Amino acid sequence: MLKRKVLIVDDEKLVRWSLTQKCAEYGFQSLEAPGGEEALRLAAAETPDVILLDVHLPDQSGIEVLEKLKQAGDTSAVIMMTADPQLEEVKAALRLGAYDFITKPLNFEELSVTVQNAAEANALRTEVESLRSEMRRRTGYHDVVGVSRKMTELMKFVRKIAASEASTILIQGESGTGKDLIAKAIHYDSARTDRPFVAINCSAIPENLMEAELFGHERGAFTDAKALKKGLFEVADGGTLFLDEIGELSPLLQAKLLRVLEDQVVRRVGGVRDFQVNVRVIAASNRDLERAVREGHFRQDLYYRLAIISIFIPPLRDRKDDILPLADFFLDHYNRKFRKSVRGMTEETRRLLLENEWPGNVRELKNAIERAMILEEDSLLRPNYLPHAVSGSHTGPGTSASAFPAPAGETSFAGSRRLPALSIPDGGTSLQDIEHALVEMALRQAGGNQMRAAKLLDISRDALRYKMKKFGLTHPDDDEQAAPATA
């Protein structure tokens, strides 16, 4: 393990010498500075984990040094030392973000524990920071692939909105076009990035629970309300609330949401007072909301409020220039994920991908590449393992039942529309595994919508949930999309 670095700042040579000895004894690497200027120089050049800083220095006070360190963005844990602690100094030091304040003569035993703790806390914070920026990298614009004119224009607009004060944003587009992705990109590129990103799917939660979910409830508000519950608006305070499938929100909740958006206040169910909240709401819909308004399913006033800033993500078939860059991006992704080394795609694969209509948009393309990557043993991705719909083949090994490709030429159950082309391998198979795979596929095909997935399998939503639980399934796309999720 790397040795922790301690910077000792004291004008007394003897103090520096004895602290250096102790540091060595406890396994810390140390640096010395006799005054403030030298301390600031060393802190910048050496990025120590811990700084032991005397309050009384010849050239400036330790408090001033601390202030300059913090202004310069220094991240080390600063422990202030003094022989005669003044309350005002202690308060100032702690206010400025000192880690601790200790009095001389120093008790080395205690000091070593404090230094150790400070170093740990610092390492942990650095780790959290880097994980956070990694998160941001993963969910930021770097992950939004788009080279077509439509997408580059759109991303320019998205960046502008992210940096703006806009408090409501509407994202529309067909299923699988990237609404979730853009919503996250907006959040992580905004000033709200260090505050929560909370997502909830309005169609996934029964209406009677949705209100409490969004606005919270007081203790005893209704029979099951044993304890106070914070609503997602409160949880997301300072951050972003992503309301997915907003078109599914009940009329009552549409009215309540409008009030929150207009006044930026929420009231818990059973509550008597309003809470001020500062939340950016990003709503998404894959239904044509304007039409829903015309047909009377969606409140016009709410629609106008949401649509002040509105983003429409075009379907993939209208921006074909994005298909191959996206495919390359997913190929890369699955190479890493599956530890494969597929170098690229054959000409034929490229042609098929380009010609396809992609009704399921980017998600469908991603799934097609995933499946092909799982099965490909060659160094180039061949059309062999692309789904039927893409390859247009009816005899290739590509079937819609991705986990169980039927052998070439096999078209079992081909006559029935209700059964996918499955066949049992010679070695036999497991009904459980097939059920598992089918549930997964249905969820995927339904874009994570449980109602739709249940319908695809002709079972009740409860039955589907039971099976999801049994197979440990959450959301089909990735590991992080379960709603409501806090990032």
Contact residues for Mg ion, defined by CB under 5 A: 179-180
Query: What is the distance of C-alpha 296 from the center of its chain?
Result: 34
Neighbour-count burial of 322, counting CB atoms closer than 10 A to its CB (0-12 exposed, 13-18 middle, 19+ buried): buried
Work out how close the CB of 242 gets to ligand ATP at its nearest, in angstroms, rounded to a whole number.
10
**Which one of ligand ATP, Mg ion, none is in contact with 92 (Cβ closer than 5 to 8 A by kind)?**
none
Nearer to ligand ATP, 41 or 317 (CB): 317
Nearer to ligand ATP, 69 or 243 (CB): 243
Residue with tokens 């969004």: 214
Nearer to Mg ion, 98 or 204 (CB): 204
Kindly report the backbone phi and psi dihedral angles of residue 47, in degrees, each rounded to the nearest multiple of 5, phi listed first.
Answer: 35, 70
**Which one of Mg ion, ligand ATP, none is in contact with 4 (Cβ closer than 5 to 8 A by kind)?**
none
Going from the C-alpha of 155 to that of each of 147, 150, 183, 189, 410, the distances in angstroms are 10, 9, 12, 12, 45
Rounded to 5°, angle at Cα 175 from 399 and 405: 10
Work out how close the CB of 333 gets to ligand ATP at its nearest, in angstroms, rounded to a whole number.
9
**Which one of ligand ATP, Mg ion, none is in contact with 144 (Cβ closer than 5 to 8 A by kind)?**
ligand ATP
**Which one of Mg ion, ligand ATP, none is in contact with 22 (Cβ closer than 5 to 8 A by kind)?**
none
Closest-by-Cβ residue to Mg ion is 180
Binding positions for ligand ATP, rule: CB under 6 A: 143-146, 173, 175-181, 286, 326, 329, 362-363, 366, 447, 477
Cis peptide before 105 (omega within 30 of 0): yes
Nearer to Mg ion, 42 or 282 (CB): 282
**Which one of Mg ion, ligand ATP, none is in contact with 477 (Cβ closer than 5 to 8 A by kind)?**
ligand ATP
Work out how close the CB of 174 gets to ligand ATP at its nearest, in angstroms, rounded to a whole number.
7
Nearer to ligand ATP, 159 or 230 (CB): 159
Hey, what amino acid is at 366?
Answer: K
How far apart are the C-alpha atoms of 268 and 231, rounded to whole Å? Answer: 7
Work out how close the CB of 461 gets to ligand ATP at its nearest, in angstroms, rounded to a whole number.
17
* Cβ-based neighbour number of residue 311 at 10 Å: 19
**Which one of Mg ion, ligand ATP, none is in contact with 443 (Cβ closer than 5 to 8 A by kind)?**
none
How far apart are the C-alpha atoms of 468 and 443, rounded to whole Å? Answer: 9
Nearer to ligand ATP, 145 or 457 (CB): 145
User: What 8-state DSSP symbol labels residue 269?
Assistant: B
How far apart are the C-alpha atoms of 151 and 177, rounded to whole Å? Answer: 11
Work out how close the CB of 430 gets to ligand ATP at its nearest, in angstroms, rounded to a whole number.
28
- Alpha helices by DSSP H, 5-100: 13-25, 36-46, 62-71, 87-95
**Which one of Mg ion, ligand ATP, none is in contact with 213 (Cβ closer than 5 to 8 A by kind)?**
none
How far apart are the C-alpha atoms of 351 and 83, rounded to whole Å? Answer: 78
Nearer to ligand ATP, 76 or 445 (CB): 445
- For residue 376, the cross-strand partners are none
Work out how close the CB of 476 gets to Mg ion at its nearest, in angstroms, rounded to a whole number.
11
| Closest-CA residue to 350 (of 329, 375, 331, 323) | 323
Work out how close the CB of 205 gets to ligand ATP at its nearest, in angstroms, rounded to a whole number.
15
